[in-house]
Chains A and B, each alone.
Chain A
């Protein structure tokens, strides 16, 4: 009996520690929401007001009418759609070839591609900038779209692992039936990889939507800014007198799409993070 109550107490204790941790995770976001609904002068009130009275949606209206956040969202959406559609296609296609097909010097090519993951991004950043300048890609969205549309190495690695686990007999049977390789890829293997593909898409979307480094370096034209750069500019624009509620509202909007996706596709998120996370 005594053991039981001991265990119960420990469980309660753990629960409260977890609760405390969970609060430190979520309270900053609630504070963000609360601040975004305040009038500018209410922000500096001490002690702080948690539920703003009156709740003020003016900041959101101002955000969409007076700043270039709409064009930022537009650009982010364009980049994300391109990268997601082309990138997923080319990543899964090469993963299929590396997993199931006979490619000349397959292992060598695969090792080459993998080795590119070992090099820190900063080594490639400057020469990439030079190349993009030469081919006049600076201040367009192309540097954000084209390289990523050719696939992502870590995703390719992950999808290849997944496809290697699928039975090769499927390929042999389809070949005997005279099915073309592309057809085998898109009608047999792609549907079988659905869970892995969804994880892949979520991960790539998260990376693309949240990307700040690429847009910051390769795009200097305010009409071509992606959402992340727009909200960053909102802040530094008035460094001395930042309109804090406005910036918080913008930040919330930047987080929102991923947040909604995260809440609805939690399982896929967790799967994909376990495979490819830790990049940030």
Chain B
């Protein structure tokens, strides 16, 4: 036990003496929380629309005006044929083209049947769906008002039918930042933990001091714990710091228990740090550690459900995610912070994190060799 304390004392001295360490401890959370949370959004803020109005009637102009009146629709161009509209879709200046054929108004009045065409840039399928849904609603509401107008009633009042009243739970203003902040926090804690611990151990290999330690009676587990604890503390500190930023800057509500949150983070970090240390036991230079850690980070993050829901992934990917620590931590953070879930709601995630922690840490201790 005393041996571990001596190792810890030495590690903390070195960490606080290292000039790049403090900027990293404070800089990484600031940058990630202030830039990434705002940048990583799927909110539809602006839809550029090109209009091909071949009808040039009162009705067609009303329709265009209706779109233009909606804050996030930006009717940026009006062209005379589809070819030009397609060109604008192709070069990315427009997201959607609304094509109003000639005789739109006449057909509407005479045949009670008008036709419109929407061309949507669907490179990003998600956005395309959203744009289509929004536009459909706008046109349908326009249609209803048209009918109402003809019938001489001020606004379309449908006969009594099923009425839906909606409340969004847990994030009732649908603030995307609230959804992303816990995700970015998970990335933050993982990067700090995994990279710092791995780089630190392999640095001792590079400068050769590890050999001196290997001829001492220090036990493998003492050494690994001595390397783990400092970065465990730093990563938890950064979680607190990141949460504080989120709370101050975008009012992130923390519905659940902070104790529970940090308890889970503590267990999660044992696994992440264990993995970082394991990587450093199988590599020889800091570059190698960076490369291998980065490889795992990318996969963990992209499969972890931060940006895309895990439920939409193929079945095999969901199974593979069971060994992805970020997948659990992400879920846990969102559930505790936004929903206020308790320990019993997260029991299976807790057990999974325990298993991953034991496995990764054991791998690190097992693979660390005092004898080459």
Same complex: no
